[in-house]
Structure 1
Amino acid sequence: MDQDLLDATVRACRELIARRYPDDDHHGAAAMLLADGTILTGTAPTAINPAVEVCHEIEPYCGAHRLDQPILASVCLHREPGGRLLVLAPCGVCRERLAVHGPGVLVAVAHRADPTVIVWKRLNEVLPDYWMIAFPDEVDPAWRS
């Protein structure tokens, strides 16, 4: 994967947080790099009932679907008061969404020694025992390797 494209994806995520949330509170965003080079970003709106809130990744994930483009990489960041940006690995639901795009999707995870440092990993590295491998006729063969 081209490091410049990954850097641009992270930069787009950071820029959305700064532009959308100029205050110094807890906020986050996500960005996804698509196969055609497009970078889509998104953030989670708040709701009176937290049970109906969605994650930051929903907007770029749905945008990729609308554009009929595979997702190549995904990053989610959370800004703490004071400006420190933490890397948030995709949750189980987002891993499942990204799995549709194959085991090679790159996802940003936090470095174990410093949660502000991005480590890019293939989805099958963070989801090594994907449940769909039990259905060999239905799963992308790359998941079985």
Structure 2
Amino acid sequence: MIEEESPRAAGLAATVAACLALIKSRFPDDEDRGAAAMLLADGSILTGTAPDAMNASVEVCHEVEPYCGAFRLNQPVVASVCLHRQSSGRTVVLSPCGVCRERLAVYGPGVLVAVADHRDPTIVVWKALKEVLPDYWMTAFPDEVDAGWTT
């Protein structure tokens, strides 16, 4: 008997696939580029990438576009992945930076984020945001933060 993939696992796999597809379609020349994808509560997936800017201080990360799209659609983010394809063709998983962790924190400690496997940075490992942000600063204000952060 073949076990069917759970809807949650299927959604996470589709999110990674959407991210890879954006990298491949937007940057077909195997250049050193990346993208992000976010799975929303309604099951939709939004993708984004970082545009080039002459002044590096005004560049944005790959996650900004799907993050803003989720807000526009009034949909909570369930999971987020950021991938970077190196010029060699190898694609690595990028854990969300501190700024992206702060952005995702508004959706609660259960948001899943992709991090690289310790043995192989090309393998996605899904972790709850609380696991990668165990000492979240907002816990100092328990009346202002999702209760999940303080338990």
- Does the TM-score normalized on the shorter chain lie above 0.5? yes
Letter in 2 for 1:57: E
Per the alignment, residue 101 of structure 2 pairs with 95
2:64 is aligned with 1:58: yes
Structure 2 CA distance, aligned partners of 1:49 and 1:84?
Answer: 28
Post-superposition shift, 1:25? Answer: 1.4
Per the alignment, residue 32 of structure 2 pairs with 26
TM-score (norm 1): 0.99
Q: Which runs of 5+ in 1 are unaligned?
A: none
Once the two structures are superposed, the pairs formed by residues 85-124 of structure 1 within 5 Å of their partners are: 85-124=91-130
Runs of 4+ in structure 1 displaced over 3 angstroms? none
Q: Between Structure 1 and Structure 2, which shows a larger proportion of strand residues?
A: 1
Please say which of residues 70-79 and 1-10 is displaced more in the overlay: 1-10
Give deviations 1:45-101, integer Å, cap 9, x for gaps: 010111100000000000000000000000000000121110000000000000000
TM-score (norm 2): 0.95
Structure 2 CA distance, aligned partners of 1:91 and 1:27?
Answer: 17
Once the two structures are superposed, the pairs formed by residues 5-16 of structure 1 within 5 Å of their partners are: 5-16=11-22
Aligned residues: 145
Letter in 2 for 1:29: A
Letter in 2 for 1:103: P
Identical pairs, percent: 70
Q: Could you tell me which of 79, 82, 86 is aligned with 2:85?
A: 79
Structure 2 CA distance, aligned partners of 1:45 and 1:56?
Answer: 8
* RMSD over aligned Cα atoms: 0.7
Structure 2 CA distance, aligned partners of 1:139 and 1:47?
Answer: 35
2:49 is aligned with 1:35: no
